[in-house]
Every structure is written in structure tokens, then in C-alpha cells.
Structure 1
Amino acid sequence: MNILFVADPLEQFKIYKDTTFSMMREAQRRGHEISACEPRDLGWQTGQPVTGQVRDIRLTGNADVWFTETPRRLAPLHGFDAVVMRKDPPFDAEYIYATHLLGQAEREGAAVVNRPASLREHPEKLAVMEFQQFTAPTLVTRDPAAVRAFHAEHRDIILKPLDGMGGMGIFRVREDGLNLGSITETLNKDGAETIMVQRFVPEIAAGDKRILIIAGEPVPFVLARIPQGSEVRGNLAAGGKGVAQPLSPRNREIAEAVGSALAPRGLLLIGLDVIGDYVTEINVTSPTCFQEITEQTGFDVPAMFVDALEAEVARGN
């Protein structure tokens, strides 16, 4: 196959932990050809297919110069066997525009993973609304009064923006309510933006578990991202320690319920964030933790993903 990865700039990859890199490495190991571009490289013109200014690359196995490339070329997206959308959040207007371009490429015959329409329909914070049986008490609002009432009821809460990643912009407010008004104003930009508020789940001390679901099937290990020191966030980007653990029966129950609902919608790869018994986010844009789980357990997550991608492309042919 010839696979196009739509991702962040290659020069920014931290290949020792990057999941997209691990996908590329496994694909190349199997003999597939790899190309890459950024969302800003996509374009469309009346009467023409959606195209990208793409870089055909080869992985070198050298950590210092990890890829070589040919000169950029303009290529129609439907000319690739698969297009893998791996752009990190923020889930902003430009991200939405990219999914529309990818949706047009899909209509022209491109096999896009995850499906563009499903990316739009499942923003990572708000997707939990469909699975309320697995969520802690949650509020989505712009209204500071609603935030204050939620805090009065639950006493210990987490506030976060809807478009962040890696733990950015997450605040905890305890029973004393210290700085609740200021935090709310900062996050909702004085009522201009919607935010999410959740009851604090004390099981975060045991880790914010990343559960990966590939083609509807849970990966048999999770990565518990454990907060360090006085930090409330377990995200690896916020300094959390990643510890791989076997998938528990409760984790499997949650993952199978979510996977059976979402995989048929074209979401080949899903990353659940679970604290205790509660789903806090459903990540579908660019779920991570492939390398950490593989290195700690020996279970080859990239191989499972590329198996699923190959099967998906085969079904479409």
C-alpha cells in the first residue's frame, strides 16, 4: 500500500514516543510506501480532486536524522491506498476545515482513517455525552452561575477547555472554592466559550488510564498515567508517569461498549481516558501511547493497528 499520513510537521516528532511514527515504522517494515503532509498542505479547486503537497519519505532507523524525503509533489488524495488523519488538537476551525477537505477526498474514493465526518461528530471532550452510564457528573456550559452551582453540589471539581490536549488548561477547585470565579472567566473567556466541568475523581491517584480500541477491539493493556508530586494531571505531556497494566474486567466492559458503538461509524482508532470507573474523554483525533504500551508489555500495538488498516483497505477494494 501507499499510505499518506496527515499530521503535524515531521520535524516536531519525538520519535522515541510518537505514535504516528510507530505506525509509519510498522507500515514500512511491511513494505508499504509512506508519504506525509500537514492539513495546511491540503487544497481543492473546482473540477479537480482534493490534493496535498506531500513528502514521500523513508525511515532511516537513525534517531538523529530519522527520515529522508523526495521533493514535495502535488498528489490527489484518492491516489493513495489509505489516508491516515493524525493531526493533533486543538479541535478548532482549521481542524474542521481539514475534515471537510478529507470528506471530499473520501467522496472521490480515498480511504480516510478515522472517517472525517465521525471526527467532526465526536469532539473528544463532548463525545462522553453519549455514554453517560460511564461518566462522572459532568457539566457543559458557558454560564458562571451554573459552574458555581455545580461546585456547590460536588465541592471538588475539575474545569477544562473543550479544545485542549495533553492536560492543557485543566484546573482543580476544591471545597473552599478558591479562585473559582477567576478560573471560570479565564477558561470561558468571560462567557464567550463553552467549558467542561466534572466532579473530581480521587482515583486519579492510581492513574488516568488510556485504553486503546482498534477496529472495535480493546488492546489488552492500558497505560495508567500517574500524576507526580503535587500535580493533579496524569497526562504524559504534563509530567505524568506512564505505567502499562493489563486491561481490567471493568475497563474491558467500558471499552467494548464504546467500541461496538463507535467503530461502525468509521472510527478505526479510539483512545479512552478512564479514571477509576469513569470515562472522562473519548479521543479520536490522534490517540497516543502505542510505544509506551508496546515497550513495557511486549504487545505490539502498531502491528495491531496496521493489521486493522490493511483489513479496512481490503474491505474497500
Structure 2
Amino acid sequence: MNILFLADPLNSFKTYKDSTFAMMREAARRGHQVWACEQDDLVWQHGGQVQAMSRQISLTGDADDWFKVLQESVVSLADMDAVVMRKDPPFDAEYLYTTHLLTQAEREGARVFNSPQALREHPEKLAILEFPQFTAPTLVTRNISAVRAFHAAHQDIILKPLDGMGGAGIFRVPADGLNLGSIAETLTRDGTQTIMVQAFLPAIAQGDKRVLVIDGEPVPFALARIPQGGEVRGNLAAGGKGVAQPLSESDWHIARTLGPILAARGLLLVGLDIIGDKLTEINVTSPTCFQEITQQAGFDVAARFMDALMSKTSA
């Protein structure tokens, strides 16, 4: 099989922890042809198909020079056996345009995972609004007065932008309300940009759990990302410590409830973020933590993912 990964630049990969790399490695181990391209490689022209200048690569096994380019070629996405969309956030206008090109590629016969339509319809912060039974008190607004009222009601709150990743732009404002106005004004750009506000969950001390769901089925281990050094953020990119652990009863309940629903919409791979027993985000663009879970718990996440991908492409 020929598998095209639409991702960030290959030279930017941190292969010791990168989940896209883990997917590629597993695909190569099974004898599949691994191809890679970036967003700006995509082209559509009247009378033709969605194409991309792509590189077929082999994996060298070297930690630094980890890939070798075998050939560069313009390929039609419809000619690939699978296209795996793994571009990291932010979900900006260019990302949105890319999903529209991928939808056109689907019309031409391409098989894209995750579904570009599903990517558009499940922005990672806002997707939780559909499942309020599992979430903490949450406010979505650009109205600073509404933010102040939410703080008055809940006292200890978290504010975050809707397009961030890796914990970027997340602030905690406790009961004293110190700097609430300044933070709200900055994040909303003086009331012109919508943000999310949530009640602070003390269970963050035990970790912000990443629960992976593959084709509707939960991976039985989560990666609890535990804040370090007085940080409120557990994100690995913000210095959190990742600890693999079996899913809790509430983790299983949330994952088994959402998994089939999201899979039916074309989301082959989902990363649920859970603090305590509360769902805080639904990650669909490029969920991570494959390697940490595999290394610590012995569960081969990339193999499970590749099994699911092969099942979908052979259906």
C-alpha cells in the first residue's frame, strides 16, 4: 500500500516522541510505501485532481537523520491507498482551506483519515459542547462581562484560546481575581476574539489524561500529563510529566460513549482530554502520546492504529 502522510516538515519531527513518526515506522515495518507532503504542496487545477508534490521516504533507524528520500513526485491523492492528515494545530484559515481541498480529493476517490469534513465540524475545544454531561462548567464567549460573571460564580477558573495547542495561552485566575481583566482583554483581543473559560479542576494535580480512541475503541491505557514545578498545565510541551496508567471507570465510560459516535462521523483517531472525571477537549487534528503509552505500558498504539487504517482501506 501507498500511504501519504500530510504533516509538518519532516525535519521538525522529534522522533523519540512523535506519534506520526510511530505511524510511519509501523507502516514501513509492514512493508507499506511511506509518502509525505505538507499543506503548501497541495494543488488543484481545473480539469485535474487534487495533487501534491510528495516524497517517498525510507526510515533509516538513525535518531537524527531518520529518513531518506527515495523519490519526489507529483501524486494525485486519489491514487494513494490512504491519506493520513496529521498537520498540527493551529486550526487557522489555511488549515480550513486544506480540509476543503481534501474534501475535493475525497470526491475524486481519495480515502482521507481523519475525515476532512469531520475535522471542520469538531474544533478541538468546542467539540465538547455536544457532551455537557461529561464536562465541567464551561463558558464560550468574547464578552468580558460574561467572563467576569463566570468568575464570580465559580471563583477559580481557567481561560484559554480556542486555537491553541500544547498548553499555549492558558491562564488560571483564582478567587482573588488578580489580573482577570487584563487576561480576559488579552485573550479576547478586547472583546473581538472568542475564548473558552472553564471551572478549575483540582484533579489536574493527578494529571490531564490523554485517552486515545481508535475507530471507536478506547486504548486501554491513558497518558496522565502531570503538571510540574507549580505549573497549572499538564501538557508535555509545557513541561508536564507523562505517566501511562490504565483507564479509570469514568475514562472507560466517557470513551465508550463518545467513541462510536465520533467514529461514525469519520474520526478514525481521537484524543480525549480528561481531568478527573471531566472531559475538557476532544482532539482530532493530530492526537499524540502513542510512543509514551507504548514505551511505558507495553501497548502498541501504532499497531492498533495501523490495523484500523488497513481495515478502513480494505472495506
Fold shared by both chains (TM-score > 0.5): yes
Distance 1:305 1:260 in 2: 16
Match of 1:165 in 2: 165
Matching residue of 1:248: 248
| 1:100 aligned residue | 100
* Secondary structure of 2:209's aligned partner: strand
Aligned counterpart, 1:86? 86
What are the residue-to-residue correspondences of 1:1-317 with 2, within 5 Å? 1-315=1-315
The structural deviation recorded for 1:261 is 1.0
Contact 2:57 2:71 in 1 (8 A): no
Any idea what SS the aligned residue of 2:91 has? coil
Return the letter of the residue paired with 1:70.
Answer: L
Give the deviation of 1:185 after TM superposition.
1.0
Partner-residue secondary structure (3-state), 2:176: coil
Q: In the alignment, residue 302 of structure 1 is paired with which amino acid?
A: A
Taking the aligned partners of 1:61 and 1:53, their CA distance within structure 2 comes to 25
Contact 2:221 2:246 in 1 (8 A): yes
Give per-residue Cα distances to partners, 1:26-57, cap 9 Å, x unaligned: 00000000000011111101111000010110
Q: Is the 8 A contact 2:209 2:274 kept in 1?
A: yes
When the two structures are superposed, what TM-score results if normalisation uses the length of structure 1? 0.99
Distance 2:271 2:189 in 1: 29
SS of aligned partner of 1:118? helix
Kindly provide the CA deviation profile for residues 177-204 of structure 1, in whole angstroms up to 9, marking residues without a partner as x: 0000110111111112100000000000
Query: What's the offset of the Cα at 1:64?
Result: 1.9
- Aligned-residue CA RMSD (Å): 0.6
| 1:305 maps to amino acid | F
User: For residues 294 and 25 of structure 1, what CA distance do their matches in structure 2 show?
Assistant: 13
Distance, in Å, in 1 between the alignment partners of 2:107 and 2:18 is 30
1: CA distance, partners of 2:39 / 2:132: 33
Structure 1 vs Structure 2: percent identity of aligned residues?
70
Counting matched residue pairs gives: 315
Deviation at 1:72, TM superposition (A): 2.5
Helix, strand or coil: the match of 1:70?
strand
SS in 2 for 1:133: helix
Letter in 1 for 2:271: G
Offset at 1:70? 3.1
Secondary structure at the aligned position of 2:58 is classed as strand
The aligned amino acid for 1:163 is D
Q: Which runs of 5+ in 1 are unaligned?
A: none
- Matched-pair contact (CA < 8 Å) for 2:58–2:70: no
Contact 2:139-2:197 at 8 Å conserved across structures? yes
